Structure 1
């Protein structure tokens, strides 16, 4: 039961839903968890498989009247971040993106807290950052999670 406000999703327009679904389900760890459609268009929700306790959803919306027409993308620095468990995972994603022609930032080490990153662009030009050792979840868990000794 919801007892307080909660951060749940980010929504982006899609000019080609099938291309967007293919991109996000092959280039990222996201899977389709819900789809909806009517005469106005299609909506797809993507999230990490099995992430039921604290789910976060990427909502893609393809409006029938805008199909085939790119909408404005997020500003140049704006991006969606995905943290990966190993440095080699960043290189692997970069290699696949390079082959697909959608690599936006080559893999690089950046000062703390950024870590080792690369970025790719989705079919509409939005930037998806892949990082290793950025420690976003770890930082939040250290702030509000149980003490390490209690978690074991």
Structure 2
């Protein structure tokens, strides 16, 4: 099924990685993202990750591993720049922080931050990029509420 594009839309963020398999393992085990598709061409390989079955408003994290960069550490999102992922329960932040702590990739300990931030921690992916895990930040809900189409 192809949807006709009627206006510009935000579709993805692309990050380079020195080890695609390691990056995929990080994102699929410590975030809700799953692999949508993988590609290979003359320059290297890439993978598209998104929320499972999120077809209505897909947002994709594109991980790109150029052959020339293999084995390097290519983090761009530091020290505060980050990808944000909201989880449904406060305990999810704590559980992910514990798993990240055990793996040596916890960047910020869980903490309550005044609104609109909420309860957050942050992880570092294998390339050093920061991934914020939040509860009660309400970015998604706020945008939907502010831009909701009024009832007729």
Gaps of 5+ in 2: none
Deviation string for 1:17-61 (max 9, x for gaps)? Answer: 110010011010000001100221001000000100100000000
**In the aligned structure 1, how far is the partner of 2:53 from the partner of 2:10?**
18
The change in CA–CA distance for 1:72 and 1:127 in structure 2 (over 3 A counts) is closer
4+ residue segments displaced more than 4 Å: none
**1:38 aligned residue:** 41
Residues of 2 paired with 1:101 and 1:118: CA distance? 14
> Partners of 1:120 and 1:3 in 2: how far apart?
37
Q: Which whole-Å CA distance do the structure 2 matches of 1:128 and 1:99 have between them?
A: 16
Q: Does 1:110 align with 2:113?
A: yes
TM-score in terms of structure 2 length: 0.94
Pairing partner for 2:65 from 33, 39, 62: 62
Distance 1:134 1:123 in 2: 25
2:126 equivalent to 1:120? no
| Count of matched residue pairs | 148
1:19 aligns with: 22
Pairwise CA distance, 1:146:
3.8
The unaligned stretches of length 5 or more in structure 1 are none
Distance 1:116 1:92 in 2: 13
TM-score (norm. length: structure 1): 0.94
Q: How much has 1:138 moved relative to structure 2?
A: 1.1
State the alpha-carbon separation in 1 of the partners of residues 78 and 97 from structure 2.
21
Match of 1:136 in 2: 139
The answer on whether the counterparts of 2:78 and 2:128 sit within 8 Å (CA) in structure 1 is no
What is the RMSD of the two structures over their aligned residues, measured on CA atoms? 1.0
Offset from partner CA, 1:46-86 (integer Å, 9 cap, x none): 00001001000000000001101122522311000000100
